[in-house]
Amino acid sequence: MSRRKTERLLNLVVCLLATRRYLTAEQIRRAVPGYPDAGEAFKRMFERDKEELRELGIPLEVGSDLDGGGGDEIGYRIPPQDYELPDVHLTPDEAAVLGLAARVWQRASMAEAASGALLKLRAAGVETDSGTAVGIEPRVDAGEPAFTALWEAVRDRRPVAFSYQGIGRTSAARRHLEPWGVVSRRGRWYVAGHDRDRDEERVFRLSRIVGEVVPDGPPGTVTVPEGVDVRRLAFDRSEPVTERRPATVLLRSGAAQGPRRWARDVRPAREEGWDEAVLTFRDVDWFAPYLARFADDLVVLDPPDLREAVIHQLKSVLAGNGDGEGAGR
């Protein structure tokens, strides 16, 4: 929203709150700065502004005031008793949770909305400083690239399509989903819904989505079945905690001290200047970015899905949109 429009809407709200009678459109045009001269341009702008106020939840009352100088012409006002919020009371624990939630959303596109919500609460006298939650850190990160698109798709009830790389797969497959909800489990985000390709309920981990999530149909065409508990569905069908797996890597001699500290079976490799070692891991999505930090001094030989994940991470870094460090070989 432009600054000019924001100021005009704010002035319109102040004007309609301050009056005790209904103001006609002409009276509003003369009283509120920012409106054009009378005519179609003003009518169109005023209609848009009324809809904007209603979408914001502002109670715009329509009526007439025969004794107020407006005759029987339709007028507008905002009843103060309907506009004002009741007192907000939060316990210290509730306020701390709100602060932590806002810190999570700072990594998503809703950062501005989260900050605005905290500002409104503080203006109402509610302390929401996350610093009151001593020793508590949010473990949920809303920075997944696919998060915003899927959250908007759930909100708009719109089908989506994306490429998905499942566990143990070396390539991604195209999936078509009617999303029902996005939930977090153990610090990871999942989307649950109806998989059109499998014709069944499925859960997908956001970190395994490759590339962009794109619309696959018009909004309003996804229906969440009655009685479906999206959170329970995600918990029941999301991938379980897996057993540790071995990974064979090359470590440059005298380097990569981090991985060396917990490597086993370290021995000289056939390639001069390198050692071969075995590391163990559970989560490819966590382990690959970690190994990518040592890209100049570490090469993954096996398993293939871990090797591909590290290569993908390094390519993302070179493209300027990854989270790893260093450069790849």
The CATH number that applies at residue 167 is 2.30.30
Describe the crossing of helices 40-55 and 3-18 by its angle, rounded to 10 degrees.
80
- 184 with 218, same domain: the answer is yes
- Assign 281 to helix, strand or coil: strand
pLDDT of residue 116: 56
157-to-105, 113, 219, 269, 296 alpha-carbon distances in Å? 21, 21, 5, 55, 45
Is residue 141 a part of any domain in this protein?
no
- 152 with 215, same domain: the answer is yes
DSSP category for residue 225: P
Mark which of 64, 83, 102 sits at the end of a domain: 83
Share of the chain above pLDDT 70, in %: 71
Is residue 329 a part of any domain in this protein?
no
Per the model's pLDDT, the better-predicted residue between 249 and 235 turns out to be 249
Is residue 208 a part of any domain in this protein?
yes
Per the model's pLDDT, the better-predicted residue between 194 and 242 turns out to be 194
pLDDT band at 323 (very low <50, low <70, confident <90, very high): very low
Long-range contacts at 95-99 (CB < 8 A, ≥ 24 apart): 95/126, 95/127, 95/128, 95/129, 95/132, 96/130, 96/132, 96/133, 96/136, 97/133, 98/128, 99/128, 99/129, 99/130, 99/131, 99/132, 99/133
pLDDT of residue 327: 36
Distance CA 7, CA 1 (A): 10
Tell me the whole-structure pTM to 2 decimals: 0.43
What pLDDT, in 10s, does the model give residues 150-201?
988 998 999 999 999 876 666 788 999 999 998 877 667 889 999 999 999 9
Distance CA 112, CA 106 (A): 8
**303 prior amide bond cis, ω within 30:** yes
- 151 with 225, same domain: the answer is yes
List the single range of 61-70, 151-160, 263-272 with lowest mean pLDDT. 61-70
- 254 with 184, same domain: the answer is no
**Other CB atoms closer than 10 Å to residue 163's CB: what's the count?**
15
- 118 with 166, same domain: the answer is no
Most confident of 24-38, 91-105, 111-125, 166-180: 24-38
Distance CA 46, CA 11 (A): 13
pLDDT of residue 133: 40
Is residue 228 a part of any domain in this protein?
yes
Is residue 326 a part of any domain in this protein?
no
Return all residues near 163 (Cβ < 8 A) that are at least 6 apart. 172, 173, 174, 175, 209, 210, 211
Mark which of 237, 256, 285 sits at the end of a domain: 237
Q: 124 pLDDT exceeds 70?
A: no
The total domain count for the chain is 4
Is residue 297 a part of any domain in this protein?
yes
Is residue 139 a part of any domain in this protein?
no
- 232 with 250, same domain: the answer is no
- 270 with 304, same domain: the answer is yes
- 155 with 232, same domain: the answer is yes
pLDDT of residue 134: 38
Average pLDDT (106-112) is 54
Is residue 137 a part of any domain in this protein?
no
Average pLDDT (202-226) is 91
- 205 with 286, same domain: the answer is no
Per the model's pLDDT, the better-predicted residue between 39 and 68 turns out to be 39
What pLDDT, in 10s, does the model give residues 128-148?
444 444 344 444 555 678 888
Q: Is the dihedral of CA 69, 72, 74, 79 positive or negative?
A: positive
Per the model's pLDDT, the better-predicted residue between 84 and 19 turns out to be 19
Return all residues near 285 (Cβ < 8 A) that are at least 6 apart. 205, 207, 208, 309
- Structural domain range at position 117: 92-132
Q: 234 pLDDT exceeds 90?
A: no
DSSP category for residue 219: T
- 107 with 67, same domain: the answer is no
Give the type of residue at 46. Answer: F
Q: 16 pLDDT exceeds 60?
A: yes
pLDDT of residue 69: 47
pLDDT of residue 102: 60
Distance CA 204, CA 202 (A): 7
For residues 161 and 214, the answer to whether their CB atoms sit within 8 Å is: yes
